Amino acid sequence: MPFIPHTEDDVRAMLAAIGVKSIDDLFDEIPASLRGGALAMVPAGVSEMEITRLMHERAERDGRWLNFIGAGAYEHHIPAAVWQIATRGEYYSAYTPYQAEASQGTLQLLYEYQSMMTSLTAMDVTNASLYDGASALAEAVLMAVRVHKSSKRVLMPATVNPVYRKVVHTIVKDQHIEIIEAPYCTECGHVIPAALQKFTGQDFAALVVPQPNFFGVLEPVDELTARAKQNRMLTIAVVNPISLALLKPPGEWGEGGADIVVGEGQPLGVPLASGGPYFGFMACREQHVRQMPGRIVGRTVDVDGKPGYTLTLQAREQHIRRSKATSNICTNQGLMVTAATIYMALLGPDGLARVAQACHSNALKLAQQLIALPGIKRAFSGPVFHEFVLCLNAPVADVLQALKAQGILGGLALTRDYPELGDALLVCATETKRDDDLKRYADNMKRILGSRFRPAPCALKPAT
Partner 1 sequence: MTTPANLKYTKTHEWVKLEADGTVTIGITHHAQEMLGDLVFVETPAVGCKLKQGKECAVVESVKAAADVYAPLSGEVVAANAELADAPEKINADAYAAWMFKLKPDNPAELGGLLDAAAYQAIADAEKH
Partner 2 sequence: MLIFELSRPGRRNASQAPLAVPGLSAIPEDCRRTSRPLLPEVSELDAVRHYTNLSRQNFSIDTQFYPLGSCTMKYNPRACNHLAMLPQFLARHPDAPADTGQGFLACLFELQEMLKNVTGMAGVSLAPMAGAQGEFAGVAMIRAYHTARGDSARTEMLVPNAAHGTNPASAVMCGYTAREIPTDREGSVDLAALKAAVGPRTAGLMLTNPSTLGVFERTILEIQQIVHDAGGLLYYDGANLNAILGRVKPGDMGFDVIHLNLHKTFSTPHGGGGPGAGPLGAATKLLRYMPLPVVAMDGDNYRLQDETDLPQSIGRLSAHLGNAGVLLRAYIYARLLGREGMQRVAEYATLNANYLMTELRKAGFEVAFPARRASHEFIVTLKDLKDKTGITAMDVAKRLLDKGFHAPTTYFPQLVPECLLIEPTETESKQTLDAFVRAMKEILEEARSQPELVKTAPHTTPVRRLDEVRAARELDLAWRGTDHAVGG
Q: Which is nearer to partner 1, 298 or 383 (CB)?
A: 298
The CA-based diameter of the chain, rounded to the nearest angstrom, is 103
Structural contact between residues 70 and 216, judged by C-beta atoms closer than 8 angstroms: yes
Q: How far apart are CA 122 and CA 109, in angstroms?
A: 19
Best CA proximity match to 241, nearest among 335, 116, 367: 116
Q: How far apart are CA 384 and CA 188, in angstroms?
A: 11
Note whether 8 binds partner 2 by CB under 8 A.
no
Note whether 447 binds partner 1 by CB under 8 A.
no
Note whether 276 binds partner 2 by CB under 8 A.
yes
Determine which residue in the list 21, 150, 194, 350 makes contact with partner 2, applying CB under 8 A: 350
Task: Specify which residues 237 forms β-bridges with.
Answer: 209, 261
Binding mask 303-332 for partner 2 (x = CB under 8 A): xx-xxxxx-xx---xxxxxxxxx-xxxxxx
Nearest approach in angstroms of CB 374 to partner 2 is 23
| One-letter identity of residue 109 | L
Q: Which is nearer to partner 1, 61 or 324 (CB)?
A: 324
Q: Which is nearer to partner 2, 112 or 443 (CB)?
A: 112
Structural contact between residues 129 and 280, judged by C-beta atoms closer than 8 angstroms: yes
User: In this structure, what DSSP letter does residue 375 have?
Assistant: T
Nearest approach in angstroms of CB 315 to partner 1 is 4
Interface residues for partner 1 in 288-347 (CB under 8 A)?
A: 290, 314-315, 320-321, 324
- In order of 97, 108, 125, 301, 314, the CA distances from 306 in angstroms are 18, 13, 23, 5, 22
Number of residues located near partner 1, criterion CB under 8 A: 6
Q: Which is nearer to partner 2, 10 or 187 (CB)?
A: 10
Q: Which is nearer to partner 2, 301 or 463 (CB)?
A: 301
Binding mask 31-60 for partner 2 (x = CB under 8 A): x-xxxxx-xxxxxxxxxx--xx-xxxxxxx
Determine which residue in the list 206, 215, 264, 366 makes contact with partner 2, applying CB under 8 A: 264
Interface residues for partner 2 in 193-252 (CB under 8 A)?
A: 218, 221-222, 244-249, 252
Q: Which is nearer to partner 2, 83 or 418 (CB)?
A: 83
Prior bond to 5 cis, omega within 30? no
Walk across the sheet containing 234-239 and list its strands: 125-126, 280-284, 260-264, 234-239, 206-211, 153-157, 178-182
Note whether 296 binds partner 2 by CB under 8 A.
yes
